[in-house]
Structure 1
Amino acid sequence: MSPQIGERRGWRHGSAPTSAIEETTNVPFSTRGIRGKVTQDAPLAPLVWFKAGGNADWLFEPADLEDLKEFLMRVGGRMPVMALGLGSNLIVRDGGVPGVVIRLGKAFATVEARRDKVLECGGGASGILVSSKARDAGIAGVEFLRGIPGTVGGFVRMNGGAYGREVADVLIDCDVVLPSGDFVTLPARDLEYSYRHSNLPEGAVVVAARFQGREGIPAEIGEEMDKIAAAREASQPLRTKTGGSTFKNPPGEKAWELVDRAGCRGLTVGGAQVSEKHTNFLINTGNATSADIEGLGELVREKVYGKTGVSLEWEIQRVGRP
């Protein structure tokens, strides 16, 4: 059956004439010759860890780098652009995400270990994959990536970190495609990293990055990775619908301790709950809306400020329309 106006629809080009697609769906950009998958009104809840939230106006899953560059050139900066990785540190608001969401697939999930102990990583590669490839190649120094639940693109943008190290410690440079479709390579110094923050341009999609490691022994690297995995399993609610660390650690403080002191352990709003296991994690207990989750976070911030005078800052990214 042909897609109807207002239906959710996705097209993998080559399966239908592009001209017919553009004519019947009012696509605001040319899709002729685009090889990736373009989906209008695309559900994002299945793609994020919280399993909640609205749809993307448009979701694009590029076939490869050239396909991504061509697509964004055609969009031409007329719409907001947002990259989506594993969706692990993200609240997608219930009103959905305006513009175009870019999701990188297998073509961007490669990792290559070089002889100079540099790891060439695609923007869609997971932290687990990067650290595992490094272990197998005897490259130490990136074991901490085993503890970051996300992709290279996400933790390069956010200066992701765990267990005393962060991306700023190992990043050499990264390749990005700007919303205009332009391709640039940015050295780490240009990102002006700070705690869980970079000045990466808005809407830029990280398609590759290079990390500097050092010589190591695979067995010892593997032991360190196993310790990180065990520590996460013991302390974090990994087997729930969660979004990772909710708030940044204030200088000299631990966010979870402040939340605990404010009496927020187990606090609920609708279907959202502060984790009993780790109070810097919020959980979708089954039927939470994104409004429940974000509202619970704001309530926690209010209670922590009232108890301690500390204003917690969100670490989880919140995107989209309320």
Structure 2
Amino acid sequence: MGQAVGAEVSVALLPKVRGKLTPDAPLAPLVWFKSGGTAQWLFEPADVEDLSAFLSGLDSNMPVMALGLGSNLIVRDGGVPGVVVRLGKSFAKVFADGLTLRCGGGASGILVSSIARDAGIAGVEFLRSIPGTVGGFVRMNGGAYGRETAEVLVECEVVLRSGERRALSVDELGYSYRHSTLPEGAVVVSATFRGEAGDPAAIQAEMDRIAAAREESQPLRSKTGGSTFKNPPGEKAWALVDAAGCRGMKRGGAQVSEKHTNFLLNLGGATSADIEGLGEDVRAKVKAHSGVELEWEIQRVGMFADDARESVGSSK
């Protein structure tokens, strides 16, 4: 387990909540890589009102970060200062209405696509293959197999860092490849998707095709973080990594997957520093080989262990 960032702020100084507020909460169990430090505070709100009231009463200098399924994330070993917000079961509901899907920010892609199938809504099958939550899809314009969130999203509701609740249309999110202009500290609490009429059997067949393709090509049963680097224009990140001779390359307990070279693996005892450092090694080799500078797709958050130790020392 990584270093604790320390819950220097007393719970008495934080806004009252109806949900669960945990100091120095280990984040490694909550992310796919199973590595990294703690959250200074982990907040699991009871509902949207609880989240809004908490953020509006929270010191404006306190950082806030939303955490979904932790699939596309490196939590650094020094932990995450401030508040990490994790949406629980009350945010994980999905309702179909005609060709529209109203989804909580904590709902998984598998649940969304399954509800869509049962309702005869086609066009969101690709969400079946993204290991994350609606909030993450919306923030990062998540996509796979030739489709992305921007194509099916109608609008979303967010709670801004100030606690203000706001509905944003797809056009207001400034979408580009794996990116939105959603402000830092904002939490996506719900989203509305629209598909097209389809036959449930055909929708299931497409979901099965996607699932089989993932199973064949990706190291799904490993401690990984999903696609590590964005595909550069006209290129495939995995092909550039492979051409640079990085397949199977290791650093500490981390390894570039032999099965899919755009995936990094925790072989069992990797620190987040091992994983992130290996990613930087790969970027350097690709730049030297092809001249292409790969951009991280995986989010890296929190403090390095040495920085966290210095911060704790300076506060004493």
- Give the alignment's TM-score, normalised by structure 1: 0.91
User: Which of 1 and 2 has higher RCO (CA within 8 Å, sep 6+)?
Assistant: 2
SS of the counterpart of 2:13? Answer: coil
8 A Cα contact 2:5 2:78, kept in partner: no
Tell me, in whole angstroms, the C-alpha distance in 2 between the residues paired with 1:89 and 1:122: 19
Q: Residue deviations 1:206-243, cap 9 Å, x none? A: 00000010100000000000000010011000000000
Of the three residues 50, 56, 80, the one matched with 2:63 is 80
Provide runs of 4+ in structure 1 moved above 4 Å. Answer: 6-9
- Give the alignment's TM-score, normalised by structure 2: 0.93
Identity %: 72
Correspondences of 1:181-196 after superposition (within 5 Å): 181-196=163-178
**Structure 1 position 30 matched with structure 2 position 9:** no
**Structure 1 position 158 matched with structure 2 position 140:** yes
Tell me, in whole angstroms, the C-alpha distance in 2 between the residues paired with 1:26 and 1:199: 33
Of the three residues 211, 214, 220, the one matched with 1:238 is 220
SS of the counterpart of 2:11? Answer: coil
8 A Cα contact 1:126 1:150, kept in partner: yes
Question: Counterpart of 1:39 in structure 2: which amino acid?
Answer: T
Q: CA deviation at 1:70?
A: 1.1
Higher mean alpha-carbon deviation, 35-44 vs 71-80, is at 71-80
**Structure 1 position 216 matched with structure 2 position 198:** yes
Q: CA deviation at 1:27?
A: 2.4
For residue 113 of structure 1, what is the aligned residue in structure 2?
96
Q: CA RMSD in A?
A: 1.6
For residue 261 of structure 1, what is the aligned residue in structure 2?
243
8 A Cα contact 1:271 1:292, kept in partner: yes
Of the three residues 281, 284, 300, the one matched with 2:282 is 300
8 A Cα contact 2:5 2:40, kept in partner: no
SS of the counterpart of 1:176? Answer: strand
Of the three residues 15, 20, 24, the one matched with 1:41 is 24
Tell me, in whole angstroms, the C-alpha distance in 1 between the residues paired with 2:61 and 2:23: 16
Tell me, in whole angstroms, the C-alpha distance in 1 between the residues paired with 2:22 and 2:53: 17
8 A Cα contact 1:68 1:181, kept in partner: yes
Of the three residues 59, 62, 67, the one matched with 2:45 is 62
Q: Residue deviations 1:132-182, cap 9 Å, x none? A: 000000000100000111000001000000000000001101000011111
Q: Which structure 1 residue ranges, 5 or more long, are not aligned?
A: 1-5, 10-23
8 A Cα contact 1:76 1:179, kept in partner: no
Question: Counterpart of 2:147 in structure 1: which amino acid?
Answer: R
Question: Counterpart of 1:63 in structure 2: which amino acid?
Answer: A
Q: CA deviation at 1:199?
A: 0.1
For residue 309 of structure 1, what is the aligned residue in structure 2?
291
**Structure 1 position 276 matched with structure 2 position 232:** no
